[in-house]
Homo-oligomer: A and B are copies of this chain.
Amino acid sequence: MNRMRCRHCTEQAAINMRQHKLALCETHFVKWVQEQTRRSIEKYRMFGPDDRVLVAVSGGKDSLALWHILWSLGCQADGVYIDLGIDGDIGYSDQSRQCIEGFLQAFRLDAKLHIIGMRDTYGESLPEVARRTRRGRAKPCSTCGLIKRHEMNRLACEFGYTVLATGHNVDDEVAVLWGNTLHWQADYLARQSPVLPADRPGFVRKAKPLCRLYEREMAAYALISGIDYIYDECPFSAGATSLYYKEIFNEMERHSPGTKLKFYLDFLRAKKNGLFPPGQEEELEPCRECGQPTIANGMCAFCRLWEKRILPD
């Protein structure tokens, strides 16, 4: 039986965070998560009161919790959802969208939700693109990431947002970091950061305000706050390497609490101290199809997905 008490009051603890040696009740945990997020936003200079923030929402716990936290901190962020058309009428994408719409109603957020439907906009869902293209067949998750990055950056620029905030937690960051470290990819390691500045034309700033919070904490935050989110992993992600890396680090975390966070924060510190200096930036030019910046000669990777296809009327 858990008889642990909250550090700040006499209530029974709702969560014990071994890596911080910190047990908190529901009320103080929710405040703690919000304060941790505020500190990350400040520490990594993600955005300030004058910024227009757009949250990338998927319907999962992290992005909905992020949206909830931002409003609780007084940041009236809007949201964007990419409807990828995964699993037909009653499937994954529809359920995700319903969670987002339910969230907005439940918390009466006066926020705008932009929805980009892949099928409406480009005539094909992600599964259709994944079947038709070589890249999609080989790497559906990477193709999905490409589409989301492209479309969210496009929409943010079009609507004058200055920051795109994503719900990546420390488990996500560690899985990516570990993948890049395992292969010692210095260029990828140089780019991984809690905030990517909009230092080149055509790019909006990217920020990860939850980058120091554990996946487990975000699940607890969503649960305690009454956020109804989509529990299932995307059907395409089964067997994904990133899920395997998360398992490995969960095992190490059990063995030695704090392993995940320390690995990530020590990496950021080492980078600040000059490890992985940013390489020479490649020259960018506007894609001849969509106008977004690209390194390819003429056409960006997103537009190349649609190249050999006849667009619908």
User: A residues within 8 Å of B by Cβ?
Assistant: 181-184, 186, 244, 248, 251-252, 255, 259, 262-263, 266-267, 269-270, 273, 275-276
Contact = CB atoms under 8 A, between A and B. Distances in A.
A97 to B, nearest CB: 34
A248 B244 contact: no
Contacts of A273: 186
A271 to B, nearest CB: 8
13 contacts: A182-B262, A182-B263, A182-B266, A183-B263, A183-B266, A184-B263, A184-B266, A184-B267, A184-B270, A186-B273, A186-B275, A248-B248, A251-B251
Contact of A255 (B186, B244, B262): B244
Contacts of A183: 262-263, 266
A181 B263 CA distance: 8
A169 to B, nearest CB: 19
Given A244-B255, A275-B276, A270 B182 contact: no
B251 A182 contact: no
A39 B145 CA distance: 42
Contacts of A263: 182-184
Given A183-B266, A184-B266, 7 more contacts: A181-B181, A182-B262, A182-B266, A184-B270, A186-B273, A248-B248, A248-B251
Nearest to A276: B275
A83 to B, nearest CB: 34
B248 A182 contact: no
A269 B185 CA distance: 10
Contact of A248 (B184, B252, B267): B252
A186 B275 CA distance: 8
A248 B182 CA distance: 13
Contacts of A276: 275
Contacts of A262: 182-183
